[in-house]
Amino acid sequence: MIAGPRPDRTDDLPLGAVVTGPAPPLPGFDIHAGSTVTLEPLGMAHAADLWRVAQGADRSFTYLRYGPFATEEAFAAHVAGLSGIGRQPFFAVIPRASGTAAGWASFCDIAPDDAAIEIGSIWFSPALQRTRAATEAIFLMMNHAYALGYHRVVWRCNALNVASIRAASRFGFTHEGTWRCDGIVKGRRRDTAWFSLLAPEWPAQRDRFKAWLDDDNFDENGVARKPL
Q: What is the pLDDT of residues 18-48, one digit of tens each?
A: 999 999 999 999 999 999 999 999 999 999 9
Could you tell me the residue ranges of all domains in the chain? 32-214
Q: What is the pLDDT of residues 106-141, one digit of tens each?
A: 999 999 999 999 999 999 999 999 999 999 999 999
- Distances in Å between the Cα of 19 and the Cα atoms of 114, 149, 151, 198 are 10, 12, 11, 14
Q: What is the pLDDT of residue 8?
A: 72
Architecture of domain 32-214: 3-Layer(aba) Sandwich (3.40)
Please answer whether residues 154 and 176 qualify as being in contact, where contact means their C-beta atoms are separated by less than 8 angstroms: no
CA distance 101 to 125: 10
Residue 94 has pLDDT above 70, yes or no: yes
Q: What is the pLDDT of residues 151-201, one digit of tens each?
A: 999 999 999 999 999 999 999 999 999 999 999 999 999 999 999 999 999
pLDDT band at 2 (very low <50, low <70, confident <90, very high): low
Q: What is the pLDDT of residue 6?
A: 61
